[in-house]
A and B are shown apart, each in its own frame.
Chain A
């Protein structure tokens, strides 16, 4: 027999959101993932945040797989992550790496927690007796914790540890521990593993007041806090139960100020970069402060540039302005502590030419991201040199590819990213790793194929009850299993009651299988610990024994048992367990057997748009063996960037890059190119779409079958008629200038003055209501190019906010150092241009000196932003995909699902999503390809048991359910005159059931009858049949 292939294994080092996303993506394909984190918990910074812009909600669970959800982990992501293919190793560091691409031996160091978390019940008796108190990192020192503590108070299961740095070794915790799991003499543990690929995701650190000398001058009071500490104050689980109070005395904070750029945009301290996230962070916090604290909360943001560069960021800013958030453009030097505990700051108003002093109850410092110190450590591990920005060196076009092949990176390790980029990069890194793994001689973890047993739901219900007593933990509990067994056996619908032990162990599972195989019952209840961890394996076991999956209930017995540990709650836990089981039985008796289907997946992908993003996605899929139809409207590939932009400021060459990509796409046997074609209409659902495309030359239709699709329609330079554009040869757009400079058609060698105007028709109510993200960097690139040709030219860039986020800040710094003059203007006081003898004369107010300037520049250059592809609306209509007011496609969730559409099976990449840089477009294309590959690869996709259905006879087609469905799973089919449910998209949330006035929208397995039975059982006293006790 041939030797078994090894299972493809990937190390993901860092368990923040991007690392978790990467791990989930690979685990869903069937690869084995080791997910480590240097800290004692997983979740990174996001575990602390209750609310994210723009929804002001949480939503981290949205990164979990949506398709085949019953086969994946479904749980609150801030509490924990469970996936059978992911081995989670918190408090573990990567210490050594050996080997080469596709074959690495890694050494990991697992730090001692001093507590065996597998056996700890997490109730924290030890915490009560620990005499040591230190500031709690989770709440940023706003509260105290003990030496033995819960690193994330809300995680499940609780992962306690002892902080040996502060532990006094008094041993009190050891004495009280009911489960005997504390070992203060435990040691760190080093071990080695073999992996095929490595993804680095060790994230970012935030500038903080404790560590950095220069920030200490701000720490004049407890009421000067960091942005993350404010997040803990405003959190429902935070320090004041979500009320906004100042830490010093607990009084309500009504006047709150945010100070931006703390620890970033600082050349003196060698932190010449923008943290990228703080402007939106502060905006969100200011909005939340007003939402939660009431209209009398005064929120003021002190800023330099409001960097609202991302998709819908500017709209959120406008919302904040309308909501009454105040903005003051001044970097404040210091905060003063007043005798009445208030904090005052002095600032200068350039327009009023006056100084003001304002008092605040609380000052929040927007402490920015700084590249994590692990960069240097990682560089050493991989024998690399850090680049000039102090970051790990990556390949030129692929931000997620380390220069060392086989190693990828994602999240803020790439630079300074926001949440949506962290997620897309996590997917993209997983995509690169899976591309690599698909070329190696490795296999995936095959899903256990268990035939669905014959349904027995028409038989009289006979329930088998299995209770795991978990003798390791339960010895001291007040739950009397003997009495429970006696009590339950009295019911005639109970077939048998089995008390077993350690069902989590292999032996326990074997015992259980034997028991169940003998059973004559047709329904099953299992009581065990952590159902979210064991549900899938226990269900599979029961299925093998002949139980239908939908007629099995698994409930959390351990929580009830654990409560019986202590004298203080030593009421009758036996009865509580009994009552719980009765109500579950009442439900189970009424449950119908539900059937699942395996979705048949057409393993072909459709890519719409042959620009760089579309070509990249096509090639990424083709490389992994997926057949691709690439549809391009025009007669040539490359899109806007691939045909027009020869060079960018970061030394990329889009045109030549596109040419290379074109050759790869044209030569690949898996890609079929449809040029001069547009998409007309589509039919079908996830896994089996049929799309009609029309040849624009001969108007012939062609039908393409595909399982999923990527929309990469792109965009182009915006158009304008403002500032006398089109009326003078001396007024150009940035693109015209760039073209003219490279061809030599535009001669700047004699120019004395050149003026550039930013945000032409952008970020205003009458024009594009968004920031185009790339124009500031583009203008700087052109200005520097002019200066190289003519160092004597005086270049003015008139801007509203310089959007050089992240390390692009260095271009802004470079440009100023080169003598380019930046002048800000306000939207209500735009520059004025008129033509004198055919030449532009521009008048504007210089913002610093507040004086009028009139100039006759040799050239006036306009930055008219990025427009979406004009055909987006038609493409949207053809696929039933939403397009926003601006003309860009609307993704499922801007933070957590940035490249997916709500409609299952559709993905977006590149400028079709929003204006972005070339590298970001490539990143998204890679991520979209990965999402498609994950679905079209060999794993079977099942739809869920529990989905909503339509009772067609009583449905009045009002379509309320269609409007309300948050997953876009319901639609109205005109031909059939029926409401249809996309079984793959439905998440069984029940919204349709609430909206339907006729009770025609039903969630299978959740009938009113069942729910009422459960309520009745819970409300009745359920007197227990006690025998002889």
Chain B
């Protein structure tokens, strides 16, 4: 990591509230985050650190903020009132504003399999609790096709259709 390139005041551009600075990296936001089960995982704590450090390039390239499912648990539990969920939204906005060509990979995922999050890890737990197996759209090719056609009508998908081709 090179600090000579980093912008100390980047946080003011992204998420201009001092709340963020109070983060003490306790990991509360990580440990119960549903999107942290994803691959790559969403690591809210690390994003907060990157914003504080001003690691502009790394942050622009990072797709994990788009994996957030907006459950707000980090917001509820953060002991330092950093408001991590607000920060995630702010990072998304900042990324979009700074890169017009940006297509969040989560949209590609939604297009390909119908949902963003990996559900694999939950299968075992559901079974142990006696819950039925999840019925996902992936298992219904007809429905998935209809769903993809529907998505193709939105500008963000149709204008970037090269990203959504099967090949």
Contacts and interface: CB of A to CB of B under 8 A. Distances in A.
Interface of A: 261, 265-269, 304, 329-334, 338-339, 345-348, 350, 355, 753, 792, 794, 812-813, 816-819, 821-822, 824, 846-849, 851-855
Contacts of A329: 27
Contact of A849 (B1, B18, B78): B1
Nearest to A819: B21
A438 B87 CA distance: 62
A331 B80 CA distance: 12
A726 to B, nearest CB: 26
B150 interface: no
Contact of A333 (B3, B8, B28, B49): B28
A304 B24 contact: yes
Interface stretch (B29-37, B92-100, B108-116, B155-163): B29-37
A659 B23 CA distance: 41
Contacts of A339: 128-130
Contacts of B37: 355
Given A331-B27, A348-B31, A268 B80 contact: yes
Contact of B36 (A331, A355, A821): A355
Contact of B79 (A331, A824, A847): A331
B3 A753 contact: yes
Given A355-B37, A794-B8, A847-B25, 19 more contacts: A268-B78, A268-B79, A268-B81, A269-B79, A332-B28, A333-B28, A333-B33, A334-B77, A339-B129, A346-B31, A348-B27, A348-B31, A355-B41, A813-B22, A816-B22, A816-B23, A821-B53, A848-B49, A852-B1
A821 B79 contact: no
A261 B27 contact: no
The 9 closest A-B pairs by CB, nearest first: A333-B32, A331-B26, A268-B81, A266-B79, A848-B49, A330-B27, A333-B31, A331-B28, A348-B30
A1001 to B, nearest CB: 56
B52 A821 contact: yes
Contacts of B77: 333-334
A757 to B, nearest CB: 16
A931 to B, nearest CB: 40
B79 to A, nearest CB: 4
Interface in B36-67: 36-37, 41, 43, 45-46, 49-50, 52-53
B65 to A, nearest CB: 15
A267 B24 CA distance: 11
B79 A333 contact: no
B73 interface: yes
B140 to A, nearest CB: 30
Interface of B: 1-3, 8, 18, 21-33, 36-37, 41, 43, 45-46, 49-50, 52-53, 73, 77-81, 128-130
B45 A332 contact: no
Nearest to A349: B27
Contact of A330 (B21, B31, B50, B128): B31
Given A333-B73, A846-B1, A849-B50, A267 B26 contact: no
A848 B30 CA distance: 12
Contacts of B53: 821, 849
A846 B80 CA distance: 21
Nearest to B55: A849
Contacts of A824: 25
Contacts of A854: 2
Nearest to B8: A794
A265 B31 contact: no
A331 B81 contact: no
Contacts of A350: 27
24 contacts: A266-B79, A267-B81, A268-B78, A331-B26, A331-B79, A332-B28, A332-B31, A333-B73, A334-B32, A334-B77, A339-B130, A348-B30, A350-B27, A355-B31, A816-B24, A817-B18, A821-B53, A846-B49, A848-B25, A848-B46, A849-B1, A849-B49, A853-B1, A854-B2
A330 B26 CA distance: 6
B3 A853 contact: yes
A304 B23 CA distance: 12
Contacts of B18: 817
Contacts of A265: 79
Given A304-B26, A852-B1, A267 B31 contact: no
A348 B37 CA distance: 11
Nearest to A856: B4
B76 to A, nearest CB: 9
A593 B43 CA distance: 79
A817 B31 contact: no
A346 B78 CA distance: 16
Given A849-B50, A851-B1, A267 B32 contact: no
Contacts of A853: 1, 3
Nearest to B25: A848
Nearest to B43: A348
A849 B24 contact: no
Nearest to A850: B46
A213 to B, nearest CB: 12
Nearest to A855: B3
A231 to B, nearest CB: 25
B61 to A, nearest CB: 14
A177 to B, nearest CB: 51
Given A268-B78, A347-B31, A817 B21 contact: yes
Contacts of B52: 821
A854 B46 CA distance: 19
A179 B52 CA distance: 72
A822 B53 CA distance: 11
Given A268-B79, A846-B1, A346 B27 contact: no
A817 B3 CA distance: 20
B30 to A, nearest CB: 5
Contacts of A268: 78-81
Given A816-B24, A817-B21, A267 B30 contact: no
Contacts of B24: 304, 812, 816, 822
Contacts of B26: 304, 330-331
A958 B146 CA distance: 97
A851 B58 CA distance: 13
Nearest to A853: B1
Contacts of B43: 348
Contacts of B46: 848-849
B1 A331 contact: no
A816 B24 CA distance: 8
A269 B78 CA distance: 10
Nearest to B81: A268
Contacts of B23: 816
Most buried by A among B3, B28, B31, B128: B31
A871 B21 CA distance: 45
Contacts of A348: 27, 30-31, 36, 43, 45
B41 to A, nearest CB: 7
Nearest to A260: B26
Most buried by B among A332, A819, A822, A849: A849
Contacts of B21: 816-819
Given A267-B79, A852-B1, A331 B31 contact: yes
A828 B32 CA distance: 29
Contacts of B130: 339
A347 B27 contact: yes
Nearest to A347: B31
Nearest to B18: A817
B22 A848 contact: no
A310 B81 CA distance: 30
Contacts of B27: 329-331, 347-348, 350
Nearest to A802: B24
